[in-house]
Amino acid sequence: MKRFPFLIVVVVVLSGEVVRGQINRDLVIGQAEATPAPSDSFFDDTVLHDISLSVNSKDWRALKDHYLDDTYYPCDFRWRDQVLRNVGIRSRGTGSRSGVKPGLRVDFNRYTSKQSFLGLKSFVLRNNTQDASSLHERLSMLLFHRMNIPASREAHARLFINNQYAGLYLIVEAVDQDFLKRTFAEDGGYLYKYDYPADSAPYYFEDRGSDAKSYVPLPFKPETHDTDPRPEFLVDLVQTINQTGDAAFRSTMTAYLDLTKFIRHLAVEKFLSDQDGLLSDYGGMNNFYFYRFDNQKLFAFIEWDKSEAFKGGVEYPIFHNITDVPAAQRNRLLSRALSYRDLYDLYLDTLIECVKSANEVEAGSADPRGWLEREVERESNQIRGAALSDPERNFSNDEFEQAIRDLTAFAQQRGAFVTGQANAARVP
């Protein structure tokens, strides 16, 4: 009986956090991200890191020769004064795969499941072969962080293979169970990577019927629970998007997706002129993970690979691939969501919020430049030496410098363009 008052308190507190049967994820995410992680120093972007890998010389050649293959090779890993043996690396990427400067996935637990490094089981070394500046991804993820949207932590590093400089790489936090735990305070749910092979039909969240095989393993490739990926929840989600009537759509979707987060995610991508995100210029969707929370129907989008951001340029329209494409090529989820006034306004509001964030001047400083422009300068200065001496760089030094100038111009001009388009799109 003594426990009864305590239980009442717990129930009252929880009732405030439970919205339509689910725990308020904003609170959970906020708490999870606020906790310092042991790996923070590894993603400290105020310094240019050095990473050394000791690999059998034949393996490094084989990894380059067979860069389209996902074969793992063993290596020893060194960062600062820490050496980790028994580590696995493999070639990775889709469009960025390269036999000259391979992108790498580094798995600390490849050969021993319990092995980790600063709490990480793996991370990605992005080769940035499609980005002359090498900054698109890092700048984009920083903006997502500023907008309180979950995204990978990132920092640049010089990679040494058997003591030879192998090029400038971007350290990218892998979207895996460690990421889920840090971001959502849980890792028991179902993580899928949206997989979009070049020869497959673009997907716009249209209803492909109730056959689970139409959704899993393509385009939603299971990353966890791969022997029991529970695709029926994805089928339910897609069918709810496509079949639910207008009257019930919002309330029904609440169990499956936080539409406000989806809209904000999309708005940030659009501000960044991302050509290959949720609304890809190459057709359908691309570059995201999809996570279903443990014991819930609720899904969440997670950003991935922003190397194509900024490429749309300053005047990339904010309704590109939304209203300027035929109906068949419109994202079904977004089309339905934007038909609601509050979500439509949220889209425009988030774009303006991105403008403000990008243009935010440094407090107490006389520097009139906004955050994004200053960040371009800071990061480019940090990596310039390593980028220009990169033995496997995919771009000339002139192209690197021009790309930095283009980013600076973007930072200076994008805000005004987006503001103009957003204001013009306001509905009285």
Partner 1 sequence: MLIQGLVAIATVASGSMNAGAVPHPTEAFAPSFASVLRSQGWNAADESALGIGQAAAQATDGKSEKKPEKKKKKKSDAIAPDEEVDPDQVVDGGGDAGHFVWKQHPSIRYGKVFRLDVQAKLQEDAHGSYAGARGVACPSTPLPSTCLWELHRNRVGIEGYFFKRIEYEAERELTEQELTDKDLLAGYTPTSLWKDVDVNVSYINNVQVQAGRFKVPFSLDELTGDSHNDFAYRSLGASNLAPARDTGVMLHGRFFKRGLNYWAGAFRHDGDNVRAKKIKGGDGTFAARVTGTPLRKLNKALFSSLELGTALTISSLSDDSFTPNGLRGRTLFNHDTFYEPVYVKGHRRRWEGDIDWMMGPASARSEFMWVTDDRLKQGLGDQDLPDARARSWYVSGTWILTGEPKSRPVKAANELLRGGFGAVEAAARYERLWFDSVNGADKDASFRNPRTNSIFPRGERALTLGVNWIVSRWVKLQFNAIREQVEDRETSPVANGGASWSRVVRFQFVL
Q: Tell me which residue of 321, 297, 303 sits closest to 239, measured CA to CA.
A: 297
Q: Which is nearer to partner 1, 76 or 315 (CB)?
A: 76
Query: Binding of partner 1 at residue 112 (CB under 8 A)?
Result: yes
Supply the DSSP symbol for 39.
G
Q: How far is the CB of 159 from partner 1 (least distance, A)?
A: 16
The answer to whether residue 71 forms part of the interface with partner 1 (CB under 8 A) is: yes
**CB 216 → partner 1: shortest distance, Å?**
6
Q: Map the footprint of partner 1 across residues 36-55, applying CB under 8 A.
A: 54-55
Residues 281-310 that bind partner 1 (CB under 8 A): none
* Least distance in angstroms from the C-beta of 44 to partner 1: 28
Q: 216 or 387, CB closer to partner 1?
A: 216
The DSSP 8-state label assigned to residue 389 in this structure reads T
Tell which one of 3, 20, 58, 341 touches partner 1 (CB under 8 A): 58
Q: Is 23 in the site for partner 1 (CB under 8 A)?
A: no
Residue type at 355 in one-letter notation:
V
Contact region with partner 1 (CB under 8 A), list: 170-178, 211-219, 349-357, 404-412: 211-219
413 binding partner 1? (CB under 8 A): no
CB of 349 to partner 1, least distance (A): 41
* Contact stretch for partner 1 (CB under 8 A) within 38-46, 64-72, 147-155, 181-189: 64-72
* Site for partner 1 contains 213 (CB under 8 A): yes
> What is 149-212 written as a DSSP string?
-----EEEEEEEETTEEEEEEEEEE--SHHHHHHHHS---SEEEEE---TTSPP--S----S-G
State phi, psi for 104 to the nearest 5 degrees: -130, 145
Residue 212 Cβ, how far from partner 1 at the closest point, in Å? 6
Residues in the chain: 428
Site for partner 1 in 229-288 (CB under 8 A): 229, 231
Cβ of residue 295: shortest distance to partner 1, in angstroms? 19
Residues 6+ apart with CB under 8 A from 17: 23, 24, 27
- Which of 20, 303, 27, 302 is CA-nearest to residue 139? 303
- Give the three-state DSSP class for 74: strand
177 touches 109 (CB < 8 A): no
In this complex, which beta carbon is closest to partner 1, that of residue 63 or of residue 383? 63
Residue with tokens 């109906």: 327
Residue number, 66 or 356, with CB nearest to partner 1: 66
In angstroms, rounded to a whole number, what is the distance separating the alpha carbons of residues 175 and 167?
24
Q: Does 216 bind partner 1 (CB under 8 A)?
A: yes
Indicate the residue among 271 and 290 with the shorter CB distance to partner 1: 290
Q: Could you give the strand order of the β-sheet that contains 190-194, starting from the edge strand earlier in sequence? A: 220-222, 190-194, 288-292, 299-303
* Residues 129 and 106: beta-carbon distance below 8 Å: no
**With CB under 8 A, what is the number of residues at the site for partner 1?**
34
- Nearest distance in Å: CB 93, partner 1: 17
C-beta of 88 vs 189, nearer to partner 1: 88
Distance (Å) of CA 397 to CA 100, 133, 391:
17, 10, 12
| Closest to 122 (Cα-Cα) out of 173, 83, 75 | 173
Question: Between residues 234 and 268, which has the closer beta carbon with respect to partner 1?
Answer: 234
391: cis peptide before it, omega within 30°? no
* Residue of 88, 93, 277, 415 interacting with partner 1 (CB under 8 A): 88
15, 35, 113, 365: residue in contact with partner 1 (rule CB under 8 A): 113
Q: Does 102 bind partner 1 (CB under 8 A)?
A: no
Residue with tokens 């497959």: 200
Residues 40, 44, 69, 315: which binds partner 1 (CB under 8 A)? Answer: 69
β-pairing, 73-79 with 288-292? Answer: unpaired
Residues that bind partner 1 (CB under 8 A): 54-59, 62-63, 65-66, 68-69, 71, 74-76, 85-88, 110-113, 212-213, 216-218, 226-229, 231
